[in-house]
Amino acid sequence: MIENKPSAPRSHTPSDMPSEISVAARKDAHLDLAKKAVPSDDMPHPLDAITLPYCALPEANLSTINITTCWLGKQLKAPLMITGMTGGTSRARSLNQLLAAAANKHGIALGIGSQRASLQAGESQAELRRIAPDIPLIGNIGGAQLAAEGGLVLAQRAIDDIQADALAIHINPLQEAIQPEGDHDWRGVRAAILAAKQTLSCPILVKEVGAGLSIDVVDMLASDGIEMMDVAGKGGTNWAAVEAARRTPNTAQLYEPFLDMGIDLPDAIHGARQVSDQLFIIASGGIRHGMDASRCLWLGADIAGIAGRALRALEDENGTFHEDRLDDYLSDFIQQIKLSLFLTGNQSIANFKKMARICQENSD
C-alpha cells in the first residue's frame, strides 16, 4: 500500500481549498486566457538567437529524412510532444480527446493537464488510452498536491486511470504564488517527488510550466534519480501574467515585478544538458514551428513540447473545435523539422545532434 509521508505539515486556509465548481471555472478561464496569452509568431523569442548552419550541398534526401525517436518504449514519428494544458471540465475532456486523436495520428507524445480535479470529482479519462493506444501518454499532477496528504495515492490513481506511460509532476511556484487559489506551502515537494519515483508504478517526469528549470534544480532532481525533465523555459504562455489577469487591479499590482521572472528556454536547455548527458530533456516554452523545435534539438533537447499554439489551432475564439486546423498545424510542424535537417545536410536526428556536438566542441 502506498503511503504519503510529507516532510512537513501542510495547512490551507479556506480560500486555498476552492470548491469543485470554482476549480472547474478556473480551469476553463485558464483555457480562454491561455489562448489569448500565446505570443504572436512575429514576436521575438530567445530561440531567434540560435542559427542553424546552412548547407548548400546536402547529402540527404528530403523525402526520406528520419526524425523518429524512441521514448518510453514507443516509437515517435517525430521528436514532439503536446504538453499538458488542461483537465477537470467537460470542455477540457473534449479537448483532450481531440488532442489524443491528433497525437496518435501523427505519432507524437501527449501529456494531459492536471488530473486532480477530475479524479476528485470521480471522473475517469480512461478513454484517452483507447483513443491513443500507440503513443506515450503522460499523466499529470502538481508538485504541491503530491506533497499534500494522500498525494501519492492520488498520483497512482492518475497513472492507473489512463494507463500512463509516465507521470508528469509539474512544479510552478511562481504561478501558484500569484494564483488566487494557489498553493503557497511548498515544503516537502522534493521529498514527495523522490517518494513518487521510489513507489509509483511508472517513470516520473518533472516539468515547469513556463518559468524554466534552473541548473541547480535540475542537478538536485538528477541527484534524486529523476531522468526526464521538461525545462519549460520563458518564451511561451506566461502563466504568471495569466493568474495576475484573474486578480483585481489592486491586488495584481503586487505581482507586477515578478511577471517576467524565469529562465529563457535556450539557457534552460543548455543548463540541463550540462548536468548530464543521460537526461531525457523536453524543451517547451513558446516553440512556434518546426525550426524552433530543431533549434532545441541542436541545443541538446531530446524532444520539443508545444501547448498553446496547438490549443489555438484546435479551438477558435468562439469555442468551436477545428480538428482539420490542428491536423494541418502538426503536419506543417513535422515537415519543418525534416526541412531543418535537410538544409543542414543531415539525414537523421542522430547525425544532426552529432553535428551540433562537434560545432559546440569547436566553439569551445
pLDDT digit string, tens, across residues 234-263: 998 899 999 999 999 989 999 999 999 999
Three-class SS string for 204-254? Answer: EEEECCCCCCCHHHHHHHHHCCCCEEECCCECCCCHHHHHHHCCCHHHHHH
Give how far Cα 275 sits from Cα of 19, 281, 331, 356, Å: 41, 11, 33, 17
pLDDT at 87: 76
Number of CB atoms found within 10 A of residue 274's CB: 13
Does any domain span residue 67?
no
The DSSP annotation for 57-88 comes to S--S-GGG-B--EEETTEEESSSEEE-----S
Residue pair 192/4 in contact by the 8 Å Cβ criterion? yes
pLDDT at 21: 43
The number of domains in the chain is: 1
Structural domain of residue 209, as residue ranges? Answer: 23-38+47-53+73-324
Contacts of 312 (CB under 8 A, 6+ apart): 35, 38
Does any domain span residue 167?
yes
pLDDT at 43: 84
Which CATH number goes with the domain that contains 136?
3.20.20.70
Does any domain span residue 338?
no
Does any domain span residue 315?
yes
Does any domain span residue 163?
yes
Output the tens digit of pLDDT for each of the chain's 364 residues.
444 444 444 444 334 334 444 566 666 666 666 656 677 778 899 999 999 999 999 999 999 999 999 999 999 999 999 999 877 788 899 999 999 999 999 999 999 999 998 998 899 999 999 999 999 999 999 999 999 999 999 999 999 999 999 999 999 999 999 999 999 999 999 999 999 999 999 999 999 999 999 999 999 999 999 999 999 999 988 999 999 999 999 899 999 999 999 999 999 999 999 999 999 999 999 999 999 999 999 999 999 999 999 999 999 988 999 999 999 999 999 999 999 999 999 999 999 999 999 998 888 7
d(CA 184, CA 216): 21
pLDDT at 24: 60
d(CA 247, CA 253): 9
Amino acid sitting at position 106: H
Does any domain span residue 331?
no
Alpha helices per DSSP H over the chain = 20-37, 90-106, 116-120, 127-131, 143-147, 151-162, 173-178, 189-199, 215-223, 239-245, 249-252, 265-275, 290-299, 308-314, 323-342, 349-363
pLDDT digit string, tens, across residues 24-81: 666 666 666 665 667 777 889 999 999 999 999 999 999 999 999 999 999 999 999 9
Does any domain span residue 350?
no
Residue pair 81/92 in contact by the 8 Å Cβ criterion? no
Does any domain span residue 259?
yes
pLDDT at 31: 64
pLDDT at 362: 87
